[in-house]
Structure 1
Amino acid sequence: MDRERMLVNLFYAQPVGHAIEALHYCTGHAAAVPGREVSVALNAATAVELAAFCPAVTAVHPVDHPFLEPCEDSADRLRELPRDWDWVVDDTRRHQPFQYELFPGMRDYYAASDAHLRTPGGRRSVVGAERAGYRPHQRLRLDLPLAVREQAARRLAPGRPPAGRIAFMPAGSSDASLYPSPDSWLLVLDALTEAFPGLEIVLVGRTARDRRTSTALTAEGLRALRGHRSSPVDCFDVPLAEQLAVVEACDVFLAPHTGFGLAALAVGTPWLALSGGRWFEYWFNHVPFRSVLPDTGRHPSFSQFDPAVVVLDGDDGPRTPSMTRARVVEDLERIVGAAGELLAGTLGYERAVREYVTALVAAHGGDSSAIWSIDSVHLQYL
């Protein structure tokens, strides 16, 4: 008997986190129907290679199609995507009209895929839909190749450093105003180095400028962080799989909100997020984490699709309020405390989620309706 074939059709923006979202849904749909073959269609500009490390995925189909701009030849761009499936489940965002207004290329992709993809008996739905067979809140664990793990290990100090090891990504790919300045991060690194003598810090990120995401950090800022007195291990610009293996070998991943934080959780490394900016953390992968939330009364945050408030932060230039030096200084003790919990392994996953959801509701003025999460996991903690 032929196995059931499903396509997770998740064409969205290129940040790494959206690839992880797609693999999360692949995992849930595969778990629901033993023997089901689950393939995934992704924006070719995202980290499509991660699908090869997801045990739930049979095949990945990169689609070279614009996302922000309209596309006149969408049908031609989908020619290599197999047409016939037992199930096709689309990204839920394709049914949000404002997404099409913001991203015309996404609109054109789904119009073309509606015409291109065929399923028997209307077996088309959205990711996470029960009718398509789905088990929510599964743990996604990327299985990196042994050779990649060995190469990553050669970049790090042998054995476990006395105080542990923190992978540090200073910025994501959005505007620089949405992340702390290098000078603010130097204060954080100073505090961590003083609190945990012997701590090994590993810098990760990507400076290449192409259609994939790259750091908002300037070359000057990167030089300043590389020169910190802790002598960080520099893993900027090594291949993505190897960077993930480096993160996997660390006890904590420290970063502001970034899609790479989802990838860190997918290799089992706790994420210490300096939370703020436009987006809160919304994916829970059975891995302990801490999101140090700002005082949103004084540091407005989480505008999501609306533009973030930006202020002048002295010599650090434009910053959203939750990423100013004053906010970082205000929360240094909390950052160090959270790092201590995660380095020591004393924080369990259930407590991490419960305390985070409670704090996130408070950060939204008590309005839980403003909060969402993948698979709506947060609802059970309200």
Structure 2
Amino acid sequence: MKKKLLLNWVYYPPVGHAVEALKLAKGYSLANKNLDVYLLLNANTPTELADACSWIKKTYSISTEEVFKDGEKAKCLQKIPKNWDYISSDNRAGRLIKGNDRVELVKTQEVLQKIFVARNSSILPVVHNPKITLSIPTKAKTFAKKFKHRGPTIAIMLGGAKGLRQSPSIEMWLKICLALEQAIPNLKIYFMGITKSDHHRTFTKDFTLDDVNYLIKHLKNAESAYNIGLWNQIALIKKCDIFLSPHTGFAFLAFLVDAPWLEIATCRWPLYFLNDVPFYSVLPKCNSYPSLDDRTKECDRLLREGKRVACVADDLIEKKIPEIVKGAKLLLDKSFTYNKAIKLHLRKIRKDYDVHRFPSFGAKKDENK
């Protein structure tokens, strides 16, 4: 009989955190052949992604609102076994701070840590950074077929959960898209996002359908793919040559369907999730980047005050447009491999940034390939 691992990855709702769990679950599955992996996720994140992962036995949706209100008696906890062979938790769960982090998340993790018990305290082996691929539902693949274009294609998400505070303005997006159109013959652009929250999930904040239509009106060949559903968006991203966006956890999904990511990097977080897929990061000229959890940094202060971070100011983004175009051309070149992308990225951060604030990416391993 297989042993059972409970992976506790109940954290903030943005999709990137769910994707982290999918990759870690695969790492445990590969390293332990006699192990079934069960997953706990925040109910406000796209838990259905785990259904596309054959290496995950079952996923339990945890409502932090329910647990905050009802504690151990929360309905979402009642059908989950309390005893497991092994338990592995997101290490951020132990660093949540009352008065800083959301109270319902802090309370939920306190309850989860209390009620679930592991028979074994030993640390399981894990394969680090395994490549994972999402199995896209047939219905979504069929839907994506209606998006037809013979030529280069770019899917663009204008902003993430923080909206304009960490994204280029719509005026700068137009300049970016016009530059891409001019540099890449026969380019087709798809704008994707969601205009309102679904079951408390994150959405494309501050960028409306009016904004999208404004861009489409001024571009040669662009189309809206807003509000088409998560799996349909993922299927469309898979068909595209590039996914372009500011730093957002949603972009991690592009890697899971082998779509290269062209990242307009902003504070607070650097690119840290990789999946053996080419990428290019347009890094900001900013003394705070990446600010991470450092509350003394200017960018962190601006975000806490509800203001835009300095690195997305129009004048600074406009100066980055030539590099955005350069990154797009590199990613359209099939000879620009993941290993070349890693080497280029490491050269850039070693030249201009504090490398200790970035993930290692397994640099030694990749540079020797």
TM-score for the superposition, normalised by structure 1? 0.87
- Structure 1 residues 337 and 99, CA gap change in structure 2 (3 angstroms): farther
Give the alignment partner of residue 138 of structure 1, picking from 130, 141, 150: 130
Task: Determine if contact 1:301/1:321 at 8 Å carries over to the other structure.
Answer: no
Deviation at 1:72, TM superposition (A): 4.1
Aligned to 2:120, the other structure's residue is in SS state helix
Q: Any gaps of 5 or more consecutive residues in structure 1? A: 124-130, 312-316
- Structure 1 residues 75 and 356, CA gap change in structure 2 (3 angstroms): same
Deviation at 1:347, TM superposition (A): 1.2
Task: Determine if contact 1:201/1:232 at 8 Å carries over to the other structure.
Answer: yes
**Match status 1:260 vs 2:250:** yes
Whole-angstrom distance in 2 between the partners of 1:107 and 1:184:
38
Whole-angstrom distance in 2 between the partners of 1:217 and 1:224:
14
**What are the residue-to-residue correspondences of 1:227-238 with 2, within 5 Å?**
227-238=217-228
**Match status 1:369 vs 2:356:** yes
**Match status 1:22 vs 2:11:** no
- Structure 1 residues 176 and 118, CA gap change in structure 2 (3 angstroms): same
Aligned to 1:75, the other structure's residue is in SS state helix
Aligned to 1:319, the other structure's residue is in SS state coil
Task: Determine if contact 2:159/2:207 at 8 Å carries over to the other structure.
Answer: no
Percent of aligned positions that are identical: 26
Whole-angstrom distance in 1 between the partners of 2:25 and 2:83:
18
Task: Determine if contact 2:196/2:203 at 8 Å carries over to the other structure.
Answer: yes
Deviations 1:85-127 (A, max 9, x none): 211110011222548842332322222112221221335xxxx
Aligned to 2:317, the other structure's residue is in SS state helix
Count, aligned residues: 357
**What are the residue-to-residue correspondences of 1:217-228 with 2, within 5 Å?**
217-219=206-208, 220-228=210-218
Task: Determine if contact 2:24/2:129 at 8 Å carries over to the other structure.
Answer: no
**What are the residue-to-residue correspondences of 1:1-150 with 2, within 5 Å?**
2-66=1-65, 71-77=68-74, 78-98=77-97, 101-122=100-121, 131-150=123-142
**Match status 1:360 vs 2:349:** yes
Aligned to 1:135, the other structure's residue is in SS state coil
Whole-angstrom distance in 1 between the partners of 2:310 and 2:24:
34
Whole-angstrom distance in 2 between the partners of 1:348 and 1:301:
26
Whole-angstrom distance in 2 between the partners of 1:223 and 1:309:
33
**Match status 1:190 vs 2:178:** yes
Deviation at 1:321, TM superposition (A): 2.0
Q: Any gaps of 5 or more consecutive residues in structure 2? A: none
Give the alignment partner of residue 321 of structure 2, picking from 315, 329, 332: 332
* Cα RMSD (Å): 2.3
Whole-angstrom distance in 2 between the partners of 1:343 and 1:330:
22
Whole-angstrom distance in 1 between the partners of 2:70 and 2:284:
45
Aligned to 2:39, the other structure's residue is in SS state strand
Whole-angstrom distance in 2 between the partners of 1:32 and 1:25:
11
